[in-house]
Structures are given as C-alpha cells and as structure tokens.
Amino acid sequence: MNSLKSYLIFPIHFVLQMTNLGLWGMLIFCFGIIRFMIPIKAISRMLLKLMHFFYFTFSVISVGMIKLFNNVNVEIKVDKELSKQEWYLIIANHISYLDIILLIRFCAKYTSPPKFFLKKELIWLPFVGIAAWALDMPFMRRYTQSFVKKNPHLKGKDIETTRQSCAKFIDSPTSVINFVEGTRFSPAKAEARNSPFSHLLRPKAGGIAFTLASMGEQFSSLLDITLAYPENSGHPMRDMLSGEMTHIVIDVSVHPLSDEVIGDYFNNPSFRESFQAWLNELWINKNQRMKEWMKGLKV
C-alpha cells in the first residue's frame, strides 16, 4: 500500500515542484533582463530586492509542499542568533539537490540573501541556470591539475572568476554559500577519492580560502551547516518527491572569523597547511555529528 501511495504522489509532487521552480525562475530571469538593460544603481537595487522576494517565495512554497506531501520532521539547530543585515560565509556538505532548496529556505528566515558558488555546467539547467545568472551568482569552471599543466595560461582563472563574481554583490548584505566538497556525496565517490570520512568527501580548501582573503573583512561570521537525511540517506530527492521523507536535519554552527583563517593560501605554505588543518577539523566534527544522527541519536 505504501509503495502504491508513493507511485501516486511522485508525479503530482514532481509536477507541482517543477511548476513552482519554472514560475519563479522565469520571473527572476525576466526582471534580471530588465535590470541588465537599465544599469541605474537605484533601479538595479530595487529590482534585485524584488528578485530576492521571488527567490525566497520559491523556497517557501517548495518547502511547504515538501511538508504537505511528507510526514517529515525538519529539525533546525542554530547555536547563535543570526541577522538579515549581516554578511555570512556559509560552508555546507552536499548530499542532494534538495540541499539547495533547504538552504535557500533557511536563509529566507535567518540570514541575508544567499548566493551559491555553482558549477559552470549548471547554467544550462532549466530555470535554475537562468535564475542564478540573473541573481549574479558565481559560476565556477574548475580545472584539474593535469589540465592546468597542459594549459598553463588557465592557472588561477577560476580564482579570478570568483573575484569578479563577488564584486557584483559587494553593495548589499549577502550570504555566500560554498559546497566545499565540490560535488554531491555518494559512497562510490568517497571510495574513489579515498575520503577519510564515512559520510563526507574531502573538503576543498582553495576556493573558500580565496573568498576569505578577498572578502573576509565583510563577513561577520562563518556558518558551518551540516545537512543530513538520517532515515533517507540513500535517495533523498526521490524519497522527498515520493512522500517518504521522514527526517531532515539542518545543524548550524556559528564561528567567528579571525586573522588565523584569512591569508595568502596560494603563496604561503605555512598558512595553507594551517588553513587545511582548520577546515579538516570542521569536517571531522561534522562527520561525527552525522554518524550520531545515522544511529538515531540526538546531539
């Protein structure tokens, strides 16, 4: 019976979620074009504020539907008070595309508007890509070390792209979100990359270190967000659309930003080593929390 119910819920929920995404994505894109065509700062700020309203409304409706179709407990833990008027650097683990919806909804309630660091390929994702472009989100093209060796003129190009993208939203409080693992977690990826963590991939330090070096003085805090689906870790998106999602955890640790984590990551070996150690320590703690949730324990 439960299986039959899931088959009935999936197409209905999927169509409603895609309609919601398409509606708000196209609205954001259309107003983004107007903003692009009228490069007057006052008008640009007004339009961006309206586009952020569309952006947040999408997440509110999307999460509302998730709760409607699923008997789900959404557990949000924040260890310090947050403000919509502050700049935050957010680092999070990445399990599912569902993470993005949940983080937008979290920011809609607690922080300034979020900007994601996105892979270049996502610009072609229907509705998502054009909306992200209109909202000035950074699209990153990551180059492997072997590729850079063959094409040395591209060395540092991804970092320069980050610098240019961040400059676009320098005038208003923003929460910059980076999935520092670089891709979604899966046991197969963890094994292939020799990850020392049971529920996470190795964090990539370069991008976040550069963001801190470029904009560190603007961020009031770093938010270390741990996302987990303790009872649906295998296929969170499918389970959510099928009405089988039961438990979502969004755990937020607020960390002050000191000079110890702001420095020249690429040219200072000692700083690079200490920064990697700092980030790995965050990941060790994050993995431990996820282990406990998977066992059904509360932290």
Domain of 181, CATH number, reads 3.40.1130
**Distance of CA 47 to CAs 36, 52, 208, Å?**
10, 9, 29
Which domain range does residue 141 map to? 2-294
Q: Which two tokens stand for residue 188?
A: 């197969």
Label residue 253 by pLDDT band (50, 70, 90): very high
Instruction: For residue 100, give the amino acid letter.
Output: I
Residue 208 lies in a domain: yes
Residue-wise DSSP of 99-122: HHHHHHHHHHHHSSPEEE-EEGGG
Residue 147 lies in a domain: yes
User: pLDDT of 209-252, one tens digit each?
Assistant: 888 887 777 888 999 999 999 988 788 999 999 999 999 999 99
pLDDT of residue 143: 47
pLDDT at residue 295 is higher than 80: no
The chain-wide mean pLDDT, for the chain, equals 85
User: pLDDT of 20-53, one tens digit each?
Assistant: 999 999 999 999 999 889 888 889 889 999 999 9
Residue 144 lies in a domain: yes
Question: 89 has which bridge partners?
Answer: 176, 222
Label residue 298 by pLDDT band (50, 70, 90): very low
Residue 18 lies in a domain: yes
Q: Which residues contact 230 (CB under 8 A, 6 or more apart)?
A: 247, 249, 293, 294, 296
Choice between 98 and 132, residue whose per-residue pLDDT is larger: 98
Residue 299 lies in a domain: no
Q: Tell me the average pLDDT across 1-19.
A: 85
Residue 251 lies in a domain: yes
pLDDT of residue 297: 45
Number of compact structural domains in the chain: 1
Label residue 262 by pLDDT band (50, 70, 90): confident
